[in-house]
């Protein structure tokens, strides 16, 4: 377990060190390509977030006993997630918006776990939009109450979309090669299911390939 955590931490830290070194070399060489530097910084930001996810996961495991479930308003979690990821959004040239139902009923949930789920979904959304024109590059987190009284949170991006193949496997345990510590989507499904919830992904249909048709 600890070897696996060390490995999960080492990868992003090595990435940060190598990208920082590359950035310094670019500058020393004198021909600074700002686009290249921007991409290096985006990679560094993503790696740093990954490392902090690992640490947060460990902290989450330790804290689990103390924290546990409590009555929370999911809007507060969303607001916190936006705060945590605001610099990540800037690095991806992405607007991070919310549309919150002000009458959302409280739910019984573990705030750290739900926050973890949302962070993962939003980061996946950022990562899905490198080809999206900056003017349409946005992620919207929406909260609402379903007709059946359940609370629903959606994270929407305007990126490449998810193929039916990926969609069917995204939240299933078979997605990851075994033996790797899992912080990705299958673990999100486990958290949500432990809260008696469901999680799924949808892709907006676009008639024209290669074009992005945002609808609101």
Interface residues with ligand ATP (CB under 6 A) are: 120, 124-125, 128, 157, 159-160, 162, 166, 170, 183-185
Q: Is 187 in the site for Mg ion (CB under 5 A)?
A: no
**Distance from C-alpha of 19 to C-alpha of 210, rounded to nearest angstrom:** 30
Cα 154 to Cα 157: distance, rounded to the nearest angstrom: 10
| Residue 81 binding target from Mg ion, ligand ATP, none, CB below 5 to 8 Å by type | none
CB 188 within 8 A of CB 153: no
**What would the two tokens of residue 122 be?**
């939003």
**CA-to-CA distance for 62 and 66, rounded, in angstroms?**
8
Strands 95-99 and 70-72 turn out to be: unpaired
Q: Return the range that interacts with Mg ion (CB under 5 A); candidates 77-85, 92-100, 118-126, 168-176.
A: 118-126
Strand order in the sheet with 151-156: 95-99, 138-145, 151-156
Answer with the entry of Mg ion, ligand ATP, none that 183 interacts with (C-beta below 5 to 8 A by kind): ligand ATP
Can you tell me which of 73, 113, 124, 132 binds Mg ion, judged by CB under 5 A? 124
User: What is the nearest approach in angstroms of ligand ATP to the Cβ of residue 100?
Assistant: 20
Nearer to ligand ATP, 143 or 185 (CB): 185
Question: Using the rule CB under 5 A, is 143 a contact of Mg ion?
Answer: no
Q: Which positions touch Mg ion (CB under 5 A)?
A: 124
């Amino acid at each position: 377990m600890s070897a696996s955590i060390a490995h999960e931490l080492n990868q992003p830290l090595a990435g940060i060190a190598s990208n920082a070194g590359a950035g310094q070399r670019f500058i020393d060489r004198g021909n600074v390509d700002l686009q290249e530097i921007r991409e290096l910084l985006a990679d560094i930001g993503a790696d740093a977030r990954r490392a902090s996810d690992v640490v947060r996961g460990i902290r989450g495991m330790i804290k689990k006993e103390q924290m546990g479930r409590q009555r929370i308003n999911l809007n507060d979690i969303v607001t916190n997630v936006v705060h945590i990821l605001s610099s990540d959004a800037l690095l991806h040239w992405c607007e991070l918006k919310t549309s919150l139902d002000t009458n959302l009923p409280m739910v019984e949930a573990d705030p750290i776990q739900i926050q973890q789920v949302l962070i993962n979904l939003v980061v996946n959304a950022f990562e899905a939009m490198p080809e999206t024109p900056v003017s349409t590059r946005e992620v919207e987190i929406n909260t609402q109450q379903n007709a059946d009284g359940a609370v629903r949170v959606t994270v929407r991006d305007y990126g490449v979309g998810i193929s039916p193949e990926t969609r069917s496997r995204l939240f299933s345990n078979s997605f990851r090669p075994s033996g790797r510590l899992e912080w990705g989507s299958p673990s999100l499904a486990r958290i949500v299911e432990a809260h008696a919830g469901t999680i799924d992904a949808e892709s907006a249909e676009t008639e024209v390939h290669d074009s992005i048709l945002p609808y609101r």
